Amino acid sequence: MALPVVSVPMKKKKKPSLVLTLSAAGLLIGVGSAAYWFLTQGQRFSRDLPVGANIIPQDALFTVSLTTDPKQWQKLHEFGTKETQAELNKNLVQLRDRFLTSNGYDFEKDIQPWVGEEVTLAILAPETSKPTLKPVATNKDAAGSQQSMVMVLPVKNPEMAKSIWAQPKPLKQGKWIDRTYQGFTIKQTDRQAGEHLSATLIDRRFLVITDNPKNTERAIDAYKSKASLATTGGFAENMAKISSYQPFAQFYVNVPTAAKIATASPSRHLPAQVLAQLQNNQGLAGTITLEPEGISLKGVSWLNPNSQRVLAVDNKAGKMQNRLPAETLMMLSGGNLQRLWGDYVLTSQGNPLSPIAPEQLRGGVKSLTNLDLDRDLLSWMKGEFSVSVIPSSPKDGSPENFRAGLVFMVQASDRKLAEASIEKLDDVMQNQYQFQIQSRTVAGQPIINWIAPYGTLTATHGWLDENIAFFILGAPVMDKIFPKPNNTLANTLAFQQTVPTELNPNNGQFFLDMERTTKNFPIPRPFSNQKTLLAATRSIGVTAAVSDNRSNRYDIFFALKKAGNSAIPSSSNNALTPTATPSPWRGRGER
């Protein structure tokens, strides 16, 4: 922008005033800064998005972007145990062989010289117009065979990429044929059996490979019409919240599309009201980075832009870890138990996939205690709360005599109402279950013990400070929490190195000392490889916060053991034996 020229009708030349000089300089700086921001904003914004986000269709079920940096893959293979490394290798080899090795390509020789810093894989939703494709399989094998996948490889060397695309390697079965769609040349395999591989080069910037020629067309349509993942409601702005420099991976889950597919399954049918609630959510995304001592994950979930639901921005947690002793094995805290329960009920009532049905929990509390869960208990539990596992100190110190107490703490929003409800609970335990209600004083603080008919101390409850109610079930660990411990969980090195602190204030935290917990407690196994994964983990830390009235943020850290380096095996060898290079994409013929 040019500044206007002002002529001054004076015979004697005067120096420009200091104010005018500074004003002009400030104007130029401001205009220049605005222009720079305008010109670079689009570039900076796009760097927050996974590569290929402008090509992948909006209805993609799941996407993951993985780094191609060998150093990061080598760092990943230093974590875990030999068993977890073997499991990781097996999955990566299957992925590599599906797209590359089985078609005669070697990543290091044929792909790495021209590919960018990351590649993106996407699983697309089945097309509703094709009745031959069932939306959901009834078993794992069928589900795997029906997954439609798209791979996007960014091009950093256009000439090399064009060369390998223009002259594909001969196939063992069938041949390559060319066709044109919307001005883009598509190369696809013509074979009777197996996957029908398809590829196209988009504007010399992206090589798109799919396992179905129809999906290549869908990718081209998304790119040309801009109806892509990048323009999905809330996707760009929320991915920016979890952006990281040179991440190892980024992922995205399309919640409403996944819910629709899930409800079509006879074995996992979701009621209409549950599906409607899930439609309020739009996405769940995360960025994974590798740290010196483990894996860090920054996550975000957000609501559908058209949803009428809003979130309460109320981050008031963060004090309970200062009330727990250093030896605490596990802690889960939150900012408002009543609100947490309300959110859970919204998506869980009538949902067969929920871990605990709200109506069953309400009924269980009513039948056991004759108390109404919502009216008698949760009505005064609007403050911060925590659930923790604290080990007792066995007299002989032997592992065989290990015991622990389950400790519940909650900040009461109405102490009088809380005292009345707890008194009802004491009456039920005494009159219905014949427990002895014993009043005691510990360090000047009154407490109540529940003594079972056989004389065993079963539970203890009371108050800490003015409005923190506590309940202890199991081993007696009253002396661990009162008086307030000098060495708290918050001050331990394990907690500080595991639980993320960037989200401050926050709405809740989670800490689990995996090594000590698995040593003393049997842990349920919801999936087959859990034992292998848990054996590789030292501790887990989570911090959550309400980012704004439309999104939640989560920071998770997995502190992992280290087992040294183990590389991806050569595809010419079926055994998972290490090779000299830790690249996840190495193919046959390598040392």
Interatomic CA distance for residues 426 and 543, integer angstroms: 35
* pLDDT beyond 60 at 99: yes
Confidence label for 41 from pLDDT (cuts 50, 70 and 90): very low
Q: For 60, left (φ over 0), alpha (ψ -120 to 50), or beta? A: beta
* pLDDT beyond 60 at 413: yes
Q: Which two tokens stand for residue 248?
A: 């190892």
Closest-CA residue to 250 (of 259, 240, 260, 258): 240
The pLDDT value given to residue 193? 67
Q: pLDDT digit string (tens) for 446-477?
A: 999 999 998 899 999 999 987 999 999 999 99
Residue 483: asked if its preceding bond is cis (omega within 30°), the reply is: yes
Which residues lie closer than 8 Å to 348 by C-beta, 6 or more apart? 274, 354, 356, 357, 358
* pLDDT beyond 90 at 370: yes
The pLDDT value given to residue 528? 61
Closest-CA residue to 238 (of 295, 304, 309): 304
Burial (0-12, 13-18, 19+ Cβ within 10 Å), 487: exposed
At 297, which amino acid appears?
A: L
Distances (CA, A) of 475 to 406, 458, 472: 8, 8, 8
* pLDDT beyond 50 at 376: yes
Q: Which range among 158-162, 423-427, 561-565 shows the weakest confidence by mean pLDDT? A: 561-565
Between 73 and 277, name the one with better pLDDT.
Answer: 73
Which residues lie closer than 8 Å to 411 by C-beta, 6 or more apart? 383, 384, 385, 467, 468
* pLDDT beyond 80 at 73: yes
* Intra-chain end-to-end CA distance of the chain, in Å: 61
Interatomic CA distance for residues 185 and 213, integer angstroms: 12
Which residues lie closer than 8 Å to 554 by C-beta, 6 or more apart? 297, 298, 299, 300, 301, 542, 543, 544
* Domain locations along the chain: 48-285, 312-336+382-546
Most confident by average pLDDT, 161-165, 398-402, 506-510: 506-510
Beta carbons within 10 angstroms of residue 246's beta carbon: 12
* pLDDT beyond 80 at 18: no
347 φ, ψ to 5°? -105, -5
Q: Which range among 319-328, 347-356, 372-381, 580-589 shows the weakest confidence by mean pLDDT? A: 580-589
- Long-range (24+ apart) CB contacts under 8 A made by 169-178 are 169/103, 169/104, 169/105, 170/104, 171/103, 171/104, 172/104
Q: pLDDT digit string (tens) for 298-324?
A: 999 999 888 888 999 999 999 999 999
Between 276 and 584, name the one with better pLDDT.
Answer: 276
DSSP string of 313-347, one letter each residue:
----B--GGGTSBTT--EEEEES-HHHHHHHHHHH
Q: Which two tokens stand for residue 430?
A: 């005494």
* pLDDT beyond 90 at 558: yes
Confidence label for 580 from pLDDT (cuts 50, 70 and 90): very low
Closest-CA residue to 157 (of 194, 207, 99): 207
Length of the chain: 591
The pLDDT value given to residue 548? 94
Can you give the pTM of this predicted structure?
0.83
Mean pLDDT, all residues of the chain: 82
Q: pLDDT digit string (tens) for 201-238?
A: 999 999 999 988 999 999 999 999 999 999 999 999 99
